[in-house]
Amino acid sequence: LSELEALMERMKRLQEDKEDEEASQEEMATRFEKEKKESLLVISGGICAFPHFAVLFTAFDDEIVSTDVSRYIEDPGFGYKDFARRGEDHLPTFRAQDYTWENHGFSLVNRLYSDIGHLLDEKFRMVYNLTYNTMATHEDVDTTTLRRALFNYVHCMYGIRYDDYDYGEVNQLLERSLKVYIKTVTCYPERTTKRMYDSYWRQFKHSEKVHVNLLLMEARMQAELLYALRAITRHLT
């Protein structure tokens, strides 16, 4: 099967499995912990902790450009850091049900800056729901499962867990090379190369792959807002 056909087959199988039997809460929690720990091993910038991908990412090394981003920041040490140290058994988890954008963050940010919550919410929803119902040359395809996996994987990298989401879907739908691309774009965008962009979903249209980037950026922004707004809420109370 081609990459596209294999992905569509996995989406179909996931839907059928969901209709037949749902995973228990304990099992879903275990799958999240596994995915969260694995996300810490995904290294961008041409290095990968998975040996069978070593050749693939070594090939990116000659294209990585040393971009000077210092002009845009005041703190020279500013940059992405993993939310936990590698090797830790109990990694911190932000339970989305305890502090959600819809029920908590939206109202607080509106109090702090009038109407900004409505604008942000509209932006999040527009990007998340954007679809042509296509996958490359296939039409009338429901891409909800795939879009949700992309969005929730970014939040997983930031330690955010949705109790009602089965993170087994992430491993089914997002191959390792795509996960490296996701972490690079989300956490180290200056390291992203065209070869990395071209290396995943080769049969997809550019508009579809650009939509992936939009999803990643909005998921990252919402994750950062959730942490910041939760801290402000705790301070105010």
Considering the entire predicted model, what is its pTM? 0.85
pLDDT for 23 equals: 80
Tens of pLDDT along the chain (237 residues)?
688 999 999 999 998 887 677 788 899 999 998 998 888 888 755 433 333 333 333 333 444 445 566 677 777 677 777 766 666 667 789 999 999 999 999 999 999 998 999 999 999 999 999 999 999 999 999 999 999 999 999 999 999 999 999 999 999 999 988 999 999 999 988 888 899 999 899 999 999 999 999 999 999 999 999 999 999 999 998
Helix then strand count (H, E) for the chain reads: 10, 4
Strands in 77-223 per DSSP E:
94-95, 134-135, 138-139, 160-161
Report pLDDT for 64.
46
Helix 144-157 × helix 3-20 angle, to 10°:
90
Question: Please, which residues bridge with residue 134 across strands?
Answer: 139
- Terminal Cα distance for the chain, rounded: 55
On whether the CB atoms of residues 43 and 49 are closer than 8 A, the answer is: yes
> Is the distance from CB of 92 to CB of 84 less than 8 angstroms?
yes
Type of residue at 59: A
Every domain of the chain and the residues it spans:
1-61+81-234
Distances in Å between the Cα of 217 and the Cα atoms of 51, 120, 123, 156 are: 28, 13, 11, 14
pLDDT at 57: 33
Cα 134 from Cα 70, distance rounded (Å): 40
